[in-house]
Amino acid sequence: VVAGRAIVNGQAVDLADAVLPVTDAGVARGDGAFETVGVWSGRPFRLGDHLERLACSLRAVGLPEPALDVLAAEAARLCDDLGRVDAALRLYVTASGTRVLTLTDPPVRKEPRNLVVQVAPWVVPVGVSPLAGAKTMSYLPNMAATRLAQAAGADDALLVNTDGIVLESPTGCVLWVDDGTVHAVDVDLGIVDSISRRTLLDLAGAEGLAVRVGAWPVAAVERAAEVWVCSSLRPLVTVRRIGDVVLPADTPLGDRMGAALDRLRRAA
Ligand SMILES: Cc1ncc(COP(=O)(O)O)c(C=O)c1O
């Protein structure tokens, strides 16, 4: 268990004391960007990739480049003397120039085993919105997508674009196995450039599995042998159902890749 800690504009505080004024653009307008980093066995996994993606998100919404070296040093400070526990590290940079880092226990959430198909609210019909793929602090559409899916009796949404092309889940990447090949969605479709997705594709290559990146309709995922959801705070989760379509219970590749991912995340 991690006692909540935070650093607000360089100041170390207890999590309970990490407060922002209501006039901060992050609070008033959700104007800012954030990252959620998995801390596995005491170590932030691929922190450099997360910092780069934070810079990309801020650029996408016209905000200035963040001081990545400062954020890296603050992240290291926050995880110092943590011991080999799992935790969630979050970094926020708001349009007011506010920098917040928090370290908490990983959230307890329903695993996304049963998904329902939903059009992603942030993908416009023609082309791709310039905000697509940016982890802006206005995450309400993502949170609402999960709530709608749960109201429909599922655990989460399988988000598609208006052409029915599979994208991602509201807080995770989606990959699947068809004919022994690992399939992943092209980031050019406007999905978050997920670090878990990148890592799983690297691992699949290292394990000698064939990998394809592209664009596929829901039907292609429904007939897959295995469907996986993953994100920085989650292990690889194997999906059981998409709408009324029940997926095979046996997930040998997901089990193998999930174990490999866990080993890599926890490697000292
Ligand atoms: C919309 C969306 N897709 C995918 C992901 C997974 O990204 P990562 O693996 O870098 O955590 C996230 C993470 O929060 C997300 O919000």
CA 261 – ligand 1 centroid, Å? 16
Distance CA 38, CA 45 (A): 6
pLDDT in tens, 93-109: 999 999 999 999 999 88
131: β partners: none
CB 199 less than 6 A from any atom of ligand 1: no
Q: For residue 4, name the pLDDT band (cuts at 50, 70, 90).
A: very high
* DSSP for 88-110, written as a single string: EEEEEEETT--EEEEEEPPP---
Residue linked to tokens 């005491």 = 42
pLDDT in tens, 32-55: 999 999 999 999 999 999 999 999
Task: Write out the two tokens for 101.
Answer: 């880092």
Nearest to 180 by CA among 156, 208, 160, 141: 208
CB 136 less than 6 A from any atom of ligand 1: no
Residues 6+ apart with CB under 8 A from 99: 7, 8, 9, 10, 66, 67, 70, 71, 74, 91, 92, 93
Mean pLDDT for all residues in the chain = 93
Distance CA 44, CA 54 (A): 15
CA 129 – ligand 1 centroid, Å? 17
pLDDT in tens, 176-235: 999 999 999 999 998 999 999 999 999 999 999 999 999 999 999 999 999 999 999 999
Task: Write out the two tokens for 90.
Answer: 């979050």
Question: Which atom of ligand 1 is the closest one to the Cα of 173?
Answer: 4
CA 230 – ligand 1 centroid, Å? 8
Distance CA 139, CA 92 (A): 13
Query: For the chain, how many residues are written?
Result: 268
pLDDT of residue 29: 87
Residue linked to tokens 């935790």 = 87
pLDDT of residue 1: 67
CB 132 less than 6 A from any atom of ligand 1: no
pLDDT in tens, 49-82: 999 999 999 998 888 999 999 999 999 999 999 9
CA 167 – ligand 1 centroid, Å? 11
pLDDT of residue 125: 55
Largest CA distance in the chain: 54
* Distance from chain centroid for Cα 57: 13
Strands 99-104 and 87-94: what pairing? Answer: antiparallel
Distance CA 117, CA 168 (A): 10
pTM: 0.88
Q: For residue 123, name the pLDDT band (cuts at 50, 70, 90).
A: low
